Amino acid sequence: MTREERKVIIASSLGTVFEWYDFYLYGSLAVIIGAKFFSQFPEGTRNIFALLAFAAGFLVRPFGALVFGRLGDLVGRKYTFLITILIMGASTFIVGILPTSDQIGISAAIILIVLRCLQGLALGGEYGGAATYVAEHAPNGRRGFYTSFIQVTATGGLFLSLLVILFTRSALGEAAFLDWGWRIPFLVSILLLGISVWIRLQLNESPAFKKMKEEGTGSKAPLTEAFGQWKNAKVAIIALFGLVAGQAVVWYTGQFYALFFINTILKVDGYTSNLLIAWGLLLGSGGFVLFGWLSDKIGRKPIILGGCLLAALTYFPLFKLLSAEANPALHAAHRDITVVVAADPADCSFQFNPVGTARFTNSCDIAKSALARLSVNYTVENAPAGSVATVRIGQTAIPANTPNFVQALGTAVTAAGYPPASNPSVVKMAHPFDLFREQVIVSIFVLTILVIFVTMVYGPIAAALVELFPTRIRYTSMSLPYHIGNGWFGGLLPATSFAMIAQTGDVYYGLWYPVVIALATVVIGVFFVPETKDRDIFSDEFNAVAPPDATTARVR
């Protein structure tokens, strides 16, 4: 690796770390932000809205891919970098100074959603540019290794955000952090923005793009050529369903959903939850480079699809092991205590609403939402039409229209054997190096395995996507399937899984979402995705849809 190549990788990776840091802050602080900006809603609805506001940033990512992908293919990779990071940094900083709903009412929620959408647009243009830029500097046979450093940055951004949150929480104390200290990590982003802009100003345009411009072979209409011509559009579709969809759900399950599961379902305190995730990331993140390097030797497909398959086969036992170690009393209650919701099926909704306009106020919805927030496993039993939903815990029956229903329900499930909030069996870390106890070690072990699955699917994905498309439409073509997969399949995972849990009463049922999508990706990928590791990406055009057993693209 030459000095110039190292500079390209470091500059691109550091800038992307800062972008992902900005974007991940919301995910890590979603519960607090829900209380600050959606306080006019009941708690259950507020938590769902907070998750959906998080997802809003992902929903617009494909549009960012189209806008900035086209710009990157027309005017160059370098200048597109600068625009995306400026939008991301400014939007994040404004979240840090935004008045809450107690101060300016519903306007706070509206402005927050707008800022989240701007972040999503910027991120939609960021990743494709970083991956394309590094890959076009990498020599043949080393693209998987070189681009794997870009892959590390996503987890690095999450890790950095967790560290800043943990440091701020420890320095200020929990009360001050919940009151106003949560703003500090967002405000810190202005410093990161300055560093990122300075770094990116040092970069030159990629050699592949310069060569294309000199030869006059650039596309005049990247969007039309990439998605208006079936020969290219079908490659994007195959990339989406045969690679990216599975990669996205494995990635978000191993990082975001794991954090949500520990904190919200298993009731582990925020400080310990973040520490456990941080240790899992620290121990497992070397796999990005390892699997990127290995993909240069044996191919992209075996590693990405192998990671999807392993994740799908092991998610249920791994999350159950995590539950048994992190909160053994709650795990035992899930196993031993029977809770039934008797309700009119017509009274029960699937508590998911991507636009955040529905209120779940039927008696069945109230009962299910309350039980889901208490992390209670339950089954659903059909009741006569028009009847009020009733929760049965042993011999105790509590109708959903009971005054102070949530409080009464909490008392009843605790009396039946569910652990109280002060449950001493929950894993708790006093400091970052409070590691030498079985609960902590096993929890970190499970989380590290989940991160290793993430590194298998994500380490080689940039090289695989770059190699599927010619230089003239590469930025546009690879960005859209990547951000549909990660923005929609992955970004909606927390809210979808939460709604699935509330619907069925099984705290593990939400795992079926990533399992089914990962398995579908394995099947589609095996039969339709070509192996691309030996392709010459400097060729202006090549047969991007070679037979599945092809290892080298045919140059036209």
Phi, psi of 379 (to 5 degrees): -115, 160
Compute the average pLDDT of residues 313-326: 95
Helix (H) or strand (E) holding 438: helix 438-458
d(CA 233, CA 370): 45
DSSP for 271-306, written as a single string = HHHHHHHHHHHHHHTHHHHHHHHHHHHH-HHHHHHH
Q: Does residue 174 surpass a pLDDT of 90?
A: no
Q: Does residue 441 surpass a pLDDT of 60?
A: yes
Name the CATH topology of 3-326+430-528. Answer: Growth Hormone; Chain: A; (1.20.1250)
Nearest of 329, 348, 292 to residue 134 by alpha carbon: 292
Nearest of 336, 300, 19 to residue 158 by alpha carbon: 19
Amino acid 217: pLDDT = 64
Mean pLDDT value across the chain = 83
Q: Does residue 309 surpass a pLDDT of 80?
A: yes
In 299-455, which ranges are E strands? 339-343, 379-382, 390-393, 396-399
Compute the average pLDDT of residues 417-421: 85
Cα–Cα separations (whole angstroms), residue 556 to 73, 205, 234, 470: 21, 26, 18, 11
Kind of pairing between the strands at 379-382 and 390-393 = unpaired
Q: Does residue 555 surpass a pLDDT of 80?
A: no
CB 287, CB 452: distance < 8 Å: yes
Amino acid 229: pLDDT = 80
d(CA 153, CA 181): 26
Amino acid 308: pLDDT = 96
- Going by pLDDT thresholds of 50, 70 and 90, the confidence category of residue 191 is confident
Q: Does residue 77 surpass a pLDDT of 80?
A: no
Helix runs in 141-244, H state only: 143-172, 174-176, 183-201, 207-215, 222-227, 230-239
Q: What does the H/E/C string look like for 443-460?
A: HHHHHHHHHHHHHHHHCC
Q: How far is CA 6 from the centre of its chain?
A: 28
Amino acid 14: pLDDT = 73
Q: Is 109 helix (H, G, I), strand (E, B) or coil?
A: helix
Nearest of 57, 40, 4, 20 to residue 487 by alpha carbon: 57
- Going by pLDDT thresholds of 50, 70 and 90, the confidence category of residue 351 is low
- Going by pLDDT thresholds of 50, 70 and 90, the confidence category of residue 68 is confident
- Going by pLDDT thresholds of 50, 70 and 90, the confidence category of residue 552 is very low
Least confident stretch, 12-16, 32-36, 393-397, 533-537: 12-16
HSE (CB half, 13 Å, CA atoms) of 249? 31
Amino acid 494: pLDDT = 76
Amino acid 85: pLDDT = 82
CB 251, CB 455: distance < 8 Å: no
- Going by pLDDT thresholds of 50, 70 and 90, the confidence category of residue 548 is very low
Phi, psi of 33 (to 5 degrees): -65, -35
Q: Which two tokens stand for residue 160?
A: 């950095």
Q: Does residue 91 surpass a pLDDT of 80?
A: yes
Q: Does residue 274 surpass a pLDDT of 80?
A: yes
Q: Is 252 helix (H, G, I), strand (E, B) or coil?
A: helix
pLDDT in tens, 203-225: 777 766 677 767 666 666 777 77
389 vs 41, residue with greater confidence: 389
d(CA 494, CA 312): 17
Q: Which residues have a Cβ under 8 Å from the Cβ of 281 and sit 6 or more positions away?
A: 155, 158, 159, 162, 255, 451
445 vs 30, residue with greater confidence: 445
d(CA 209, CA 75): 9
- N- to C-terminal Cα separation, the chain: 30
d(CA 465, CA 13): 18
- Going by pLDDT thresholds of 50, 70 and 90, the confidence category of residue 282 is confident
What is the chain's Cα-based Rg? Answer: 24
Burial class (CB in 10 A: 0-12, 13-18, 19+), 70: buried
The percentage of residues in the chain with a pLDDT greater than 70, rounded to a whole number, is 88
Q: How far is CA 417 from the centre of its chain?
A: 34
Kind of pairing between the strands at 390-393 and 396-399 = antiparallel
Q: Does residue 462 surpass a pLDDT of 70?
A: yes
d(CA 418, CA 335): 11
d(CA 291, CA 285): 10
- Domain 338-416 is found in CATH 3.40.30: yes
CB 100, CB 160: distance < 8 Å: no
Residue type, 10: I
d(CA 80, CA 293): 28
Compute the average pLDDT of residues 338-366: 75
Most confidently predicted of 105-114, 228-237, 321-330, 337-346:
321-330
Look up the pTM and report it: 0.82
Residue type, 390: T
Domains of the chain, by residue range, sit at: 3-326+430-528, 338-416
Q: Which two tokens stand for residue 457?
A: 């699917």
